[in-house]
């Protein structure tokens, strides 16, 4: 089935750089059942977060991506924890509008680039970052963010690689997110705190909507 996304709802994403500009925080979501995905995604949209990364860490991941892509207007749905070339094709078939990988081994990177979908490939070292830059990527995922040197490391990366922009993910909290977003080379952050497991299990969509609204307010429009 074709995704609902149109220019009348949310602007289409054509690159990883476009993904970074959708919201200050990309919710990184694990769902236990496909049925949880649609009301969860709608709560995020109501709260002002029009992007979601549904990971393949559960058996419900693929079905959840397809459900959100086909049923939730105004939501850009990406597939996270994509670790094999075969999964690249699976998430594309499910309707994912971008791909997020934790790393970038050659076969996975080639498959992701060949898919034509926007890609946020994971990198934690300058060699990995420069390898992705050689492949034509200027936006990427910095993972695991806190464990890989945190904000001081990523700030230092801006010296030799001023053209690169990042979505740091891993260990980021509501308290530290503003400090990450203050870095010139950070477009957004990834976090799981917008969709707490207990809130998802209980169907507490109002709580998720409130958390989304708080996250959306982390970066106010300028001008």
Known catalytic membership, residue 134: no
Which residues is 54 bridged to in the sheet?
A: 29, 79
Give the end-to-end CA distance of the chain in Å, rounded to a whole number.
40
19 backbone dihedrals φ, ψ, rounded to 5°: -60, -40
Q: Going edge to edge, which strands form the sheet with 98-100?
A: 119-120, 98-100, 76-80, 51-55, 25-29, 189-191
The active-site residue, picked from 53, 66, 92, 209, is 53
Of 66, 92, 141, 209, which residue is the catalytic one? 141
Clarify whether 53 is annotated catalytic: yes
Cβ atoms of 22 and 47 within 8 Å: the answer is no
> Could you give the residue numbers annotated as active site?
53, 141
């Amino acid at each position: 089935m074709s995704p609902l996304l149109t220019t009348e709802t949310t602007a289409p994403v054509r690159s990883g750089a476009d993904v970074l500009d959708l919201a200050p925080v990309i919710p990184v979501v694990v769902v236990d059942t496909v049925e949880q995905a649609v009301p969860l995604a709608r709560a995020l949209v109501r709260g002002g977060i029009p992007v979601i990364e549904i990971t393949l860490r559960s058996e419900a991941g693929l079905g959840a991506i397809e459900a959100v892509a086909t049923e939730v207007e105004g939501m850009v749905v990406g597939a996270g924890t994509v670790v094999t070339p075969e999964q690249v094709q699976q998430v594309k078939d499910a309707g994912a509008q971008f791909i997020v990988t934790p790393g970038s081994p050659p076969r996975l990177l080639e498959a992701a680039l060949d898919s034509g979908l926007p890609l946020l490939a994971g990198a934690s070292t300058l060699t990995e970052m420069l390898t992705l830059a050689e492949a034509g990527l200027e936006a990427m995922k910095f993972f695991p963010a806190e464990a890989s040197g945190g904000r001081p490391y990523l700030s230092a990366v801006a010296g030799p690689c001023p053209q690169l922009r990042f979505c740091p993910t891993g260990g980021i909290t509501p308290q530290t997110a503003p400090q990450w977003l203050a870095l010139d080379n950070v477009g957004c952050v990834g976090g799981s705190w917008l969709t707490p497991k207990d809130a998802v299990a209980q169907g507490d969509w109002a709580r998720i909507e409130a958390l989304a609204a708080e996250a959306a307010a982390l970066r106010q429009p300028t001008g």
